[in-house]
Amino acid sequence: MFSLTGKIAIVTGASRGIGFALADGLAAAGAHVVAIARSAQPRVPFSHPVQYISADVSGAIGEVFAGVAQAHGRIDILVNAAGITLPGAQDEAALANFERSLQVNLTAPFACCLAARPHMPPGSSIINVTSIGSIVGLPDNPGYAAAKGGLRMLTKGLAVDYGSSGIRVNALAPGYIHTDMTAKSFSDPVLHEQRRAHTCLGRWGTVDDLLGAAIFLASNASSYITGHDLLVDGGWTAKGLV
């Protein structure tokens, strides 16, 4: 039920961090994985066979997807994990950062969905990596909040639009996961403790904590689940009083 053997998967944002772990993990579960990010190479080699393509999801990504579909005949799984964070709500770059955040974190995932859909057979799965910031307000990052909230609702809208084609579209919403994106707060003792203490499980997440949920959403195990937010946040959003 959870096997991905024979499935063709694309994972964006896979040169490091969450996307890298999901690409490697989907390959371990049997998928043929095409990993995409801007870097010329992944930061470290994958542990499993993964095809790597250097590309910018905010650029001409349709050509990349068409190439994958031509080479493999179809696309069964799309994981939109590429993302950026550009904090600053008041500084002079705030508006430019807002627009760039929307471009990479919201418009690009939609462009990837548009590029993948014609090649996706019934039973295919799209996973949009959102954030707890798609559900609760977090400070000093309006572009990230707007983009991830938008991606959460885009997920539900596309679940409606693609449902009749048998394509499922779900959101995977991580809490605080230790990656480059969160390196600053992870290494700051006060910020680290604030984020740890707000979880129910009493710890930060690791990239590997997301893999089971991603395999679940990518596989037939979730065959009747679409338009769903799957929170993998250690209970961060469940907890009220800290």
Task: Please give the residue ranges that form the binding site for ligand NAP (CB under 6 A).
Answer: 12-19, 37-39, 56-58, 81-84, 104, 129, 131, 174, 176-177, 179-182
91-101 CB burial, b ≥16 within 10 A, e <16: eeebeebbebb
Least distance to ligand NAP, CB of residue 8, Å: 19
CB 211 within 8 A of CB 11: no
Closest approach of ligand NAP to the CB of residue 217, in Å? 14
- Of 3 and 197, nearer to ligand NAP (C-beta) is 197
- For residue 28, give every residue at least 6 positions away whose Cβ sits within 8 Å of its Cβ, in sequence order, or none: 47, 48
Going across the sheet that includes 168-174, the strands are 50-54, 32-37, 8-12, 77-80, 125-129, 168-174, 229-232
Catalytic residue (choose from 144, 162, 176, 224): 144
Q: Rank residues 56 and 220 by Cβ distance to ligand NAP and give the closer one.
A: 56
DSSP assignment of 36-65 equals EESSSS-SS--SS-EEEEE--TTSSHHHHH
- Min dist. Cβ of residue 113 to ligand NAP (A): 15
Active site residue 144: yes
The CB-of-201 to ligand NAP minimum distance in angstroms stands at: 15
Crossing angle of helices 142-163 and 108-116, in 10° steps, is 20
Three-state DSSP state, 94 = helix
Closest distance of CB 168 from ligand NAP, Å? 19
Element (H, E) at 11: strand 8-12
- As separate numbers, helices (DSSP H) first and strands (DSSP E) second, the chain gives 8, 7
> Which of 144, 216 has the CB closer to ligand NAP?
144
Measured in residues, the chain has a length of: 242
- The nearer residue to ligand NAP, 13 or 143, going by C-beta atoms, is 13
CB closer to ligand NAP out of 44 and 95: 44
Residues 6 or more apart in contact with residue 222 via CB below 8 angstroms: 125, 168, 170, 216
Active site residues: 144
